[in-house]
Structure 1
Amino acid sequence: SIVLPALIHYFCPFPTSSFAFTDVPQLDCDIKAGKIINPEFIAKCPPGCQDIKYRVYGTDIYASFSSVCGAAIHSGTIDNSGGKILVQKVAGHSGYRGSYSNGIRSLSLPRWRESFIVSGTVGRHNSDTLISWKRKIKSKKEQKYPTQFFGVSLLFSVSDCKVDLSFLIDGSWSIGKRRFLIQKQFLSDVAQTLDVGIAGPLMGIIQYGDEPSTEFNLKTHTNSKDVKSAIEKISQKGGLSNVGKALSFVTKNFFLDTSGNRGGAPNVAIVLVDGWPTDKVEEASRMARESGINIFFVTIEGRVPVYFCICISSQAVCRTNGFYSINVPSWFNLHKVVQTLVKRVCDTDRLACSKTCLNSADIGFVIDGSSSVGTGHFRTVLQFVANISKEFEISDTDTRIGAVQYTYEQRLEFGFDKHSTKQDVLNAVKRINYWSGGTSTGAAINYAFEQLFSKSKPNKRKIMILITDGRSYDDVRGPAMTAHQNGVIAYSVGIAWAAQDELEAIATDPDKEHSVFVDEFDHLYRFVPRIIQNICTEFNSQPRN
């Protein structure tokens, strides 16, 4: 008599008689969920909440001292124009993962006593409200309960799979009309299984033959029904099976903001290949992956070409053990791999090739260790370095961190290839010993370029974050210009007696977005979100090719 109601409340944490929610008047952008006592409520967010000052902590599940409306934008429930949202309080978590999504950079947090989840307002007085929350009950990895409970599905839905998908379909004459129709049915089945939608997966199609062409892009259709209708209208173009050309095309032309690319969603290209391509694929495949595209090859009626395996398994950016390849013995078995493909595409934890602002850089800190800093303030600077570093996804194939300390002289504290885990980097930062001496910032920039950034990987963004508390004894303009011209994005962080003209000269243009000045060391921490936000905004504004 006690257990059953408890289970019902766990799985259905809503008023089961009416599914009614408390209405809260329009929120201000800075209102935190913890300030509202209702366990679940409907509220309206005003326009203009997409701002760094409205702090958000977490991804999907947010710490309760996050901005409610900021979290709603980050989750994709609303955009910067505002709108109605549905909020439910849930238990606190031991860790909240920061991420960049929909123009908002959420921060990570070790733990907090209360959380909340946010969704759009659906039917206010029916069970659809409950269904809209099914993805929030348990994470995909932690789900240990039955997938059906009192007739309500609690299975992790693939609509939670927020990915941007491009299907490269074979339109060559070699597959014939019947197989082309089977391919179209396969695409319809995948679209139905994915449950296409603006909060989940979006899907576009490129047909290739002699030349590739876009049938429809990511923003053309935003539900499975429309996608399936569009697939039915696709006619076979014929020609050769030029997969390489198709991959080059998708790299340069498909995942663009103007075509519906969402920035925060992984980019995935699924290539259907009948037998052997008629052009070279390896280089095009490598370039696509280095542009952050996760490529899945579905080969039908033929062995996976050897160079597909090489590209998939040995590229440093993508060590996957066959995760990205599916071989189908016959076109008539193609329908059997729908679930397998969808499961892999939606396993975003394993989409190793997806470049984001947090996993695609070599970041070198250039740290002023001069006498004016002092031992105590130097530890504060190191904490600032650690606070920035821990926001990134650090590994030998993701973001890498290096550090240089300087006075009149320079010292390489550790290079990009030294530490391959976040904890190792944080430990290494903590171990840096204060040097003390003069201030030769120009020489330090030259040294960092030669000892750190000259060893950066070709597919990595090179970011220098220089921190100083005074005017340099040597020229900074020449070394900074050399670094800029060689692709280093430079941020200057000045404290106390730092010279504003030097900070602007060091910083990449526009210098106001790449330079920071704080009057006291103890205020450094305030600028961590601003620097991260700028790095992410800049990354997402860059072309993919």
Structure 2
Amino acid sequence: MMPCFSSKEELNPKPLESISQGNPNCKVDLSFLMDGSWSIGKRRFQLQKQFLGNVAQALGIGSAGPLMGIVQYGDDPSTEFNLKTYTNSKDLRNAIEKIPQKGGLSNVGKALSFVNKNFFSDANGNRGGAPNVVVVMVDGWPTDQVEEASRLARESGINIFFVTIEAAAESEQQNVIEPNFVDKAVCRTNGFYSINVPSWFSLHKVVQPLVKRVCDSERLVCSKTCLNSADIGFVIDGSSSVGTNNFRTVLQFVANISKEFEISDTDTRIGAVQYTYEQRLEFSFDKYSSKQDVLSAIKRISYWSGGTSTGAAISYASEQLFSKSKPNKRKIMILITDGRSYDDVRVPAMTAHQNGVIAYSVGVAWAAQDELEAIATDPDTEHSFFVDEFDNLYRFVNQLIQNICTEFNSQPRN
């Protein structure tokens, strides 16, 4: 007689070990760009696959640790598998072993552009809280430009590493499109983000050093973008001249700016101060760690009404908000006022600037141009705004965020 199986058993549930927790000390989302160009040849393509398999093994792939996907490039790049395809090292190694070579040129710039647009999406398993890392394998040198594509990828917060094998010999130098392509591509030119290997046969020696670097999340500074690495303190004028309705409009403006940022206790944090003659800490940077909570807290701020001591408010914000800012965050103050201050703004503003606060001033109606400029960080044209009425505040939301990002992305990167 046939033994009776319940239908559940016949479905052959996956053995449990197929989802591994992985190495929790290395929670990164990795994309390896493998070189599939014809110049590499069959033998070295095989060595590259072996190397990637060994890296997968050494990383300890798993749902709570590192996840790894692979894009192969030649003339055009294509995803071999994404971050969520394999959740343990063994399955990943087997899959790498089966990758066939694409052939074509070594269009690294095109491949970086592809990864920036397609790879790190939520649909492909990007986890958001884990740093995004791209490791580019290059045999010889790229056949296209990498500088522009790399810059855009870095601005999205991607940490780019290069592993270059067998660099161009003297006689080949004239074929290289961008002689210092590695320095133009990586996010810091201090040697941390690039490894050069003299030959494919010595590649196995760099497995451990590479794994150690991509897992060193403290040093993956390039995951920081203008949207996820600031402490933003709003300093809001609550004086009598504003009035209840306009005050609501100001709060809407503050909310519209805040919601463009990535907010969490490790990303951007928001704080707020309201002032009249006196000052009130509405909430500090460490009070709320989700966008929803921050937006609700902004809505709940109640209008105070009183005089206008903007200078004292700047000093208060420096002490109550920015002195508690995290050292690796950019300190950004956005002050909104509708009139001339009763006290001096220059000295408090200068002190704030000297303490590393980047100040933006937004003036409405009767606000004084000379004061707005004194409050703002130089150049004033990029840090101070004036609008004739409260209802037009919304026009500056995008401009403000754009200026914050432009300033962030122009930081030196060595």
Give TM class, smaller chain: 0.5 to 0.7
Taking the aligned partners of 1:272 and 1:416, their CA distance within structure 2 comes to 48
Taking the aligned partners of 2:61 and 2:71, their CA distance within structure 1 comes to 17
Contact 1:210 1:238 in 2 (8 A): yes
Shift of 1:370: 4.0
- 2:389 corresponding residue in structure 1: 475
Shift of 1:338: 0.3
- 1:338 corresponding residue in structure 2: 207
1:3-402 alignment runs, 5 A limit: 158-302=23-167, 305-312=179-186, 318-319=187-188, 321-355=190-224, 359-361=228-230, 363=232, 365-368=234-237, 370=239, 373-378=275-280, 389=322, 393-394=326-327, 399-402=330-333
AA in 2 matched with 1:256: S
Shift of 1:380: 7.0
Taking the aligned partners of 2:125 and 2:192, their CA distance within structure 1 comes to 26
AA in 2 matched with 1:248: S
Taking the aligned partners of 1:369 and 1:248, their CA distance within structure 2 comes to 47
Taking the aligned partners of 2:30 and 2:182, their CA distance within structure 1 comes to 20
Taking the aligned partners of 1:239 and 1:173, their CA distance within structure 2 comes to 6
AA in 2 matched with 1:401: I
Shift of 1:306: 1.3
Taking the aligned partners of 2:368 and 2:220, their CA distance within structure 1 comes to 35
Contact 1:158 1:346 in 2 (8 A): no
Gap runs ≥5 in structure 2: 1-15, 169-177, 242-274, 284-312, 403-414
Taking the aligned partners of 1:415 and 1:221, their CA distance within structure 2 comes to 54
Taking the aligned partners of 2:352 and 2:155, their CA distance within structure 1 comes to 19
AA in 2 matched with 1:377: Q
AA in 2 matched with 1:483: F
Identity in percent? 57
Taking the aligned partners of 1:181 and 1:288, their CA distance within structure 2 comes to 28
- 1:536 corresponding residue in structure 2: none
CA gap 1:359/1:207 in 2 versus in 1, 3 angstroms: same
Contact 1:242 1:277 in 2 (8 A): yes
Taking the aligned partners of 2:32 and 2:204, their CA distance within structure 1 comes to 15
CA gap 1:444/1:336 in 2 versus in 1, 3 angstroms: farther
Contact 2:235 2:317 in 1 (8 A): no
Taking the aligned partners of 1:258 and 1:325, their CA distance within structure 2 comes to 29
AA in 1 matched with 2:89: S
Shift of 1:226: 1.2
AA in 1 matched with 2:218: D
CA gap 1:354/1:368 in 2 versus in 1, 3 angstroms: same
AA in 1 matched with 2:394: M
- Matched position secondary structure for 1:221: coil
- Matched position secondary structure for 1:160: coil
CA gap 1:305/1:440 in 2 versus in 1, 3 angstroms: closer
Taking the aligned partners of 1:342 and 1:246, their CA distance within structure 2 comes to 22
Taking the aligned partners of 1:366 and 1:336, their CA distance within structure 2 comes to 54
Gap runs ≥5 in structure 1: 1-121, 123-131, 133-156, 313-317, 430-438, 465-471, 490-545
CA gap 1:440/1:158 in 2 versus in 1, 3 angstroms: closer
Q: Deviations over 1:11-39 (max 9, x none)?
A: xxxxxxxxxxxxxxxxxxxxxxxxxxxxx
- Matched position secondary structure for 1:353: helix
CA gap 1:401/1:332 in 2 versus in 1, 3 angstroms: same
Taking the aligned partners of 2:324 and 2:82, their CA distance within structure 1 comes to 32
Report the TM-score when normalising by structure 1: 0.48
CA gap 1:264/1:444 in 2 versus in 1, 3 angstroms: farther
Taking the aligned partners of 2:81 and 2:193, their CA distance within structure 1 comes to 24
- 2:250 corresponding residue in structure 1: none
- 1:80 corresponding residue in structure 2: none
Shift of 1:276: 1.1
Q: Deviations over 1:105-158 (max 9, x none)?
A: xxxxxxxxxxxxxxxxx9xxxxxxxxx9xxxxxxxxxxxxxxxxxxxxxxxx95
AA in 2 matched with 1:335: H
Q: Deviations over 1:43-65 (max 9, x none)?
A: xxxxxxxxxxxxxxxxxxxxxxx
Shift of 1:488: 3.8
CA gap 1:444/1:302 in 2 versus in 1, 3 angstroms: farther
Shift of 1:159: 3.9
Contact 1:272 1:297 in 2 (8 A): yes
Contact 1:158 1:193 in 2 (8 A): no
Larger relative contact order (Cα-Cα within 8 Å, sequence gap ≥ 6)? 2
Shift of 1:319: 4.0
CA gap 1:299/1:257 in 2 versus in 1, 3 angstroms: same
Contact 1:401 1:415 in 2 (8 A): no
AA in 2 matched with 1:267: N
RMSD, matched Cα: 4.0
- Matched position secondary structure for 1:349: coil
Taking the aligned partners of 1:387 and 1:358, their CA distance within structure 2 comes to 23
Taking the aligned partners of 2:70 and 2:397, their CA distance within structure 1 comes to 38
AA in 1 matched with 2:397: H
Shift of 1:394: 5.0
CA gap 1:425/1:279 in 2 versus in 1, 3 angstroms: closer
Taking the aligned partners of 2:164 and 2:381, their CA distance within structure 1 comes to 35
CA gap 1:417/1:236 in 2 versus in 1, 3 angstroms: farther
Q: Deviations over 1:418-445 (max 9, x none)?
A: 45xxxx458x99xxxxxxxxx9745669
